[in-house]
Structures are given as C-alpha cells and as structure tokens.
Amino acid sequence: MARLTPDRTSGRIASLPLFHQVAGSRIVVVGEGAMGDAKQRLVERAGAIPVGEPEAHHAALAFVALENAEEAAAVRQRLKAKGLLVNVADRPELCDFTTPSILDRDPVLIAIGTGGASAGLAKHIRLRLEAFLPQRLGELARALAAGRDALRAELPDGDARRRAVDAALRPGGTLDPLDEASADRVESWLIDPADEARARIESIHLTSDDPEDLTLRQARWLGEADAIYHGADVPPAILARARADATRHPLDEAPDTPRSGFALVLTRG
C-alpha cells in the first residue's frame, strides 16, 4: 500500500487522528506471542471484545500480529475482503490505521503517533510527557465537565465561553493544565469566568515558510487566536497551525484595536 509523505509546506498530515468509541463492540485479534497479547490487552483496555477471525463478520476493526510476513499479509487480505479496517503489527505499509503510544490521565488521553515510522520514538515522547504532565490533569477535566452547565448559565454566548476557557487555560492562567492545583480552582473561576478573557490583538512577522521555525509563543498564539488576519503570501503550512474554527480574514481587514476575543495578524517579510 502506497503511503504519502506529507509536505510540510502544504499543511497536510499523514493520517487523520481519531478517538474511536469501541466499548462493547467486537474487534478481531489474530496474533501470537507477546505481540498478539499486547494487541488483545489494548482491545480489552478500550472496553471492546477481542474475537477471532471466524467472527470477523461481527466486527469493523482488526489487529494482525503474526511474525510470518506472508501469513500476516494473507490474513490481512481475508479481513479486508470482509470490509474490516486492519492494523498489521510492525508493517505500516499494510495498515489502514496505526496505534499510538497512549498517555492516560483519564479522561484525558494523549495519543502520540509516528505514522508507523517508529513505535520506539512514540514511546519515548510519551515517557517525556509523563514526566511533567500533572497526575491530576484528569481531575481538572472532570471538574470542567461538572461545571459545564454553570459556565453556560454564566456565559450563554458560545464564543464568550470559549474565550473564557482559553484565557483560563493559558500558561499562568487560573486553570493552567500544567499546574497540579488547577482542579481546585475551577469552582471559584466559575463565579466570574470572563474576568481573564480580555479582548486583545497580537502580530507575528514571519521570517520563514517553515512552521517548525515558529517560536513557542507564536505557535501558542496560532493555537489560541479566534480570528486570523493574513496576506495571501502566508504559507498554508503556517495557517494549518491555527485553530480549525478560527475565522480567516484578509490582511487589510485587520483592526487597529482589539474588538473582542483574540485577533492575530500574520505578515510575511
């Protein structure tokens, strides 16, 4: 199966990341040894029911974990013929989907994938993240979920709610995700969630077409901005780093002063 290598200047990605709800469903696992056991544990951990190839007609996904390359390819072909999406362990060229390395802060899940390039690399990135992400990150997520109705009552406008949450979750904000104590502050934050969400405008002057050359602050601004004002010469790969729901506007429409939310102006030298 041919694989496309994403062009960094196009803004394309190699795979579509998804979190698939599989609890209670059947997933085919054809495997042997430690590799097969690992796939079965993964399926069970997600709440699904591992089944064998004869029960493939009840399933939509399958894992093949066989050492023999020819046997693995043959099993994959049979499962594909039955309409299943198939993952073949250690053979990314035969995979319809790949499995990431998972960092679990329930209900927060962080999935690190390399498109099958290196499972070891994904694992070690996860281990680095494990070292500094707070153990209580899941508590913060649950507290925000519990306060959803209160936030909606305080800020009925959806854009205003999003700006308030973005402001609180910024580095150093009241609910900074990297602060172990943030979960304890959700209740008091809900009393006046709009307090931190002041209108603001920032500018980035690009000196490179490569998004990897963005500074950490610039990358963060792109991920936070509600509205992006940019010239036609700003590369798609840079714009791809912006929030998907951020509105896009021509550069000549950029306001002189902030009106509401967070506006970001992108210019290029």
CATH number for the domain spanning 123: value is 3.30.160
Burial of 33 (0-12, 13-18, 19+ CB in 10 A): exposed
- Kindly state whether residue 124 falls inside one of the protein's structural domains: yes
Tell whether 214 and 252 lie within a shared domain.
yes
What residues have CB less than 8 Å from 196, skipping those under 6 apart?
Answer: 164, 167, 168, 170, 173, 174
Domain coverage including residue 158:
137-196
Tell whether 192 and 235 lie within a shared domain.
no
Per-position pLDDT tens, the chain of length 269: 445 455 555 667 888 899 999 999 999 999 989 999 999 999 999 999 999 999 999 999 999 999 999 999 999 999 999 999 999 999 999 999 999 999 999 999 999 999 888 989 999 999 999 999 999 999 999 999 999 999 999 999 998 898 899 889 988 899 999 999 999 999 999 999 988 877 889 999 999 999 999 999 999 999 989 899 999 999 999 999 998 889 999 999 999 887 777 899 999 97
Q: What gap in Å lies between CA 152 and CA 87, rounded to an integer?
A: 41
**Tell me, what DSSP letter sits at residue 13?**
-
Q: Report the number of distinct structural domains present in the chain.
A: 4
Q: Are 129 and 173 in contact (CB under 8 A)?
A: no
pLDDT of 93 reads 93
Tell whether 220 and 263 lie within a shared domain.
yes
Tell whether 213 and 161 lie within a shared domain.
no
Which two structure tokens, joined as six digits, stand for 45?
A: 């951990």
- Overall pTM surpassing 0.75 (yes/no): no
- Kindly state whether residue 127 falls inside one of the protein's structural domains: yes
Q: What gap in Å lies between CA 121 and CA 179, rounded to an integer?
A: 27
What residues have CB less than 8 Å from 47, skipping those under 6 apart?
Answer: 22, 23, 24
- Kindly state whether residue 249 falls inside one of the protein's structural domains: yes
- Kindly state whether residue 111 falls inside one of the protein's structural domains: yes
Burial of 249 (0-12, 13-18, 19+ CB in 10 A): middle
Tell whether 148 and 127 lie within a shared domain.
no
Tell whether 228 and 262 lie within a shared domain.
yes
pLDDT of 1 reads 40
Among 150, 178, 196, residue at a domain's last position: 196
Tell whether 262 and 214 lie within a shared domain.
yes
Tell whether 75 and 115 lie within a shared domain.
no
- Kindly state whether residue 2 falls inside one of the protein's structural domains: no
- How many secondary structure helices (H) and strands (E) does the chain include? 9, 10
